[in-house]
Chain A
Amino acid sequence: MIAALCSALGVFLVLRRLSLIGDGLAHVTFGSVALALLLRFQSVYTAIAAIPCVLLSAFGILKIAEKARIYGDAAIGIVSSLGIATGIMLASLAGGFNVDLFSYLFGNILAISSEELLVTAALSFTVLLTIALCYNDLLAITFDEELAATSGIKVARINSVLVSLTALTVVLAMKVVGIMLISALLILPATTALQLARGFKTAILLAVTLGIASVAGGIFISFLLNLPTGATIIFISFILFAASFLIRKLRSLG
């Protein structure tokens, strides 16, 4: 489910040149996880507590870009570094990095509790339903915001929906692939699909299929070879990207 979420959202983010928003929000997640661990929250509440922080940061990125008249990448950089700095500060106050914090940084799929699984399933369903309901508006603002506005679409509202969905997805994905690798799960299946897809809906469906294949394959291989799961998922995603790139090149030659 998380693979499907990341991959579907990734197509919109990559095409809108917001690829690194996942990275920025993941760094904020690091700060909020450090705070939750400092306050000795239970694991399931750590994720829930991260949601408002990350949502606030997502809107912060939009507002900083709009009000300070800077590009989105600079706004992401500001919020991202603030998140990391907060995390380091809080981890230091808590007496250094511990095993729990490392499981969030690098992912630990085996550490996901049944309560976390339930929260993840409920939120994943909400995010997928929202993408399905807003699909045409999301496509319109991804193609061109001004044309979308002159079709009566509330561009600011749809942008807010997109960053909120991204914020929720980042929180959900942090235990699967880890804070350090979330952006790869948002970017790699999407860019792989964009090499091959002919049609926007096809791009989304292909990205989702590739994302699920990468996560399922990564989990299987990591168990088989006793490798870290998050990193294995990303390596598989990269291999699929390289293969799709070659296929596109061969197709253009033919």
Chain B
Amino acid sequence: MQVNAISINGLWFDYHGSEVLKDITCDIAAGDYVGVVGPNGSGKSTLVRCILGLNRPAAGSITLFGIPRDSFVDWRRIGYLPQGLQMLNPGFPATVREIVRLGRLSTKSFPKRFGRDDAIAVDKALELMAISDIGDKLIGELSGGLRQRTVLARALVNEPDLLILDEPTTALDPDTRENFYATLKDLNLNRKTTVLLVTHDSSTIGLYASRLLYLDKKIVFYGDFREFCESAEMTGFFGLQGQHLICRRH
């Protein structure tokens, strides 16, 4: 039996007394490409942070690759890109190579030292994101798009089984965005990497993802695009034109 990459059961999260996530239950199978969409404040980033253990839910359980989240230690299997990291301190003195190499810490035990295999993994990740030529540049000197690609290279450096990306394309220009989505699709199809992509760009997600999770504090819809495109309830949410835009590939 194949183990789900993520299983969430009865998850509740509240912040200062107001409910942000209500009774979330869903499974994300290994190899799925799930787009998470929803209005501002719908709890998309909170859901991601709960999955990663950065927020502690009020109730419910989460397993990663069949292991309860609190016992999960195999972080090399997960690559994460948080929202807003491109806003980092412009005076931060680390090079692109140093930042990408930090992703390799999840493969190390104390005292954590880097070796030749780490340098090879970093080179591969830089190549994948087409930033090999800026490896020795300071991250603070880069444009938002290049910073984003650096942090993506960091997320990919261990060739993870699960990629969790929170609004990854906000700082990217249209060409880079297209390349980025193509890279994700390639990773999903050829390496069977599970992708959980949070985005506000619901019109584009239909071109790439295989499943859609529409969140508005609770799960409003979770299923494949065929179900989504045929759902009258979703027509009510997105309007006929909006639904058609999301469904144009399907």
Which residues in A have their C-beta under 8 angstroms from that of B25?
none
CB neighbours of B138 from chain A (8 A) = 198-199
Given A152-B73, A152-B75 in contact, is the A199-B102 Cβ separation under 8 Å?
no
Say whether A113 faces chain B, with CB atoms less than 8 Å apart: no
The contact size tier of chain A is 20 to 34
Q: Do A136 and B82 form a contact, CB below 8 Å, given A147-B102, A151-B103, A199-B95?
A: no
A136 contacts B88, CB within 8 Å? no
Q: Counting CB contacts under 8 A, is B119 at the interface?
A: no
Let me know if B116 is at the binding interface, CB within 8 A.
no
Given that A15-B89, A194-B91 are known contacts, is A146 also in contact with B75, CB under 8 Å in the complex? no
Number of A-B contacts (CB under 8 A): 80
* Contact mask for chain B residues 218-246; partner A; CB cutoff 8 A; 1 contact, 0 none: 00000000000000000000000000000
A137 at the interface (CB under 8 A from B): yes
A133, A143, A200: the one contacting B110 at CB < 8 Å is: A133
Bound CA span A199–B140, Å? 11
Task: Tell yes or no: B3 within 8 A of A by CB.
Answer: no
| B138 to A, closest residue via Cβ | A198
Contacts of B73 in A (CB 8 A): 152
> How distant is the Cα of A194 from the Cα of B93 in the complex, in angstroms?
7
* A136 touching B114 in the complex, CB below 8 Å, given contacts A151-B103, A152-B106, A153-B105: yes
Cβ of A150 under 8 Å from chain B: yes
Write out the residue numbers on chain A whose beta carbons fall within 8 Å of the beta carbon of B105.
136-137, 140, 148, 151-153
Contact between chains at B75 and A143 (CB < 8 Å): no
Which listed residue, B75, B85, B113, touches A144 by the CB 8 Å rule?
B85
Contact of B93 among A133, A137, A153, A197 (CB under 8 A): A197
Residue A202 interfacial (CB < 8 Å): yes
* Contact A200:B98 (CB < 8 A) given known A150-B52, A151-B75: yes
Contact, CB under 8 Å: A150 / B80: yes
| A173 is an interface residue with CB less than 8 A from chain B | no
Determine which residue in B89, B114, B136 has the highest number of CB atoms from chain A within 10 A of its CB, and name it.
Answer: B89
- Cα of A199 to Cα of B151 in the assembled complex, Å: 16
Verify B95–A15 contact, CB threshold 8 A. no
Interface flags, B87-99, vs A, CB<8A=1, else 0? 0110111110011
User: Would you call B82 and A144 a contact (CB within 8 A)?
Assistant: yes
Taking the nearest CB of chain A, how far is it from the CB of B148, in angstroms? Answer: 13
Q: In whole angstroms, how far apart are the Cα atoms of A29 and B73 in the complex?
A: 39
Determine whether B54 belongs to the interface, using a CB cutoff of 8 Å to chain A. yes
Closest B residue to A200 using CB positions:
B94
Partner of B82, one of A140, A146, A202: A146
- Chain A residues with Cβ under 8 A from B211's Cβ? none
Instruction: Name the distance in Å between B111's Cβ and chain A's nearest Cβ.
Output: 5
Interface residue? A21 (CB, 8 A): no
Closest to B102 in A: A140
If A133-B111, A150-B52 touch, whether A143 touches B93 (CB-CB below 8 Å) is no
Residues of chain A with a CB closer than 8 A to B151's CB: 147
Say how far B6's CB is from chain A's closest CB, in angstroms.
14
The A105-153 residues at the B interface (CB cut-off 8 A) are 133, 136-137, 139-140, 143-144, 146-153
CA of A146 to CA of B136, assembled, Å: 24
User: CA A147 – CA B110 in complex, angstroms?
Assistant: 18
Q: Which residue numbers of A lie inside 8 Å of B, CB to CB?
A: 11, 15, 133, 136-137, 139-140, 143-144, 146-153, 193-194, 197-203
CB<8 Å pairs between A and B, sample of 24 = A136-B108, A136-B112, A137-B105, A139-B98, A143-B88, A143-B94, A143-B102, A144-B85, A146-B49, A146-B52, A146-B82, A147-B85, A148-B105, A149-B53, A150-B75, A151-B75, A152-B73, A197-B93, A198-B136, A198-B138, A199-B95, A199-B136, A200-B98, A203-B93
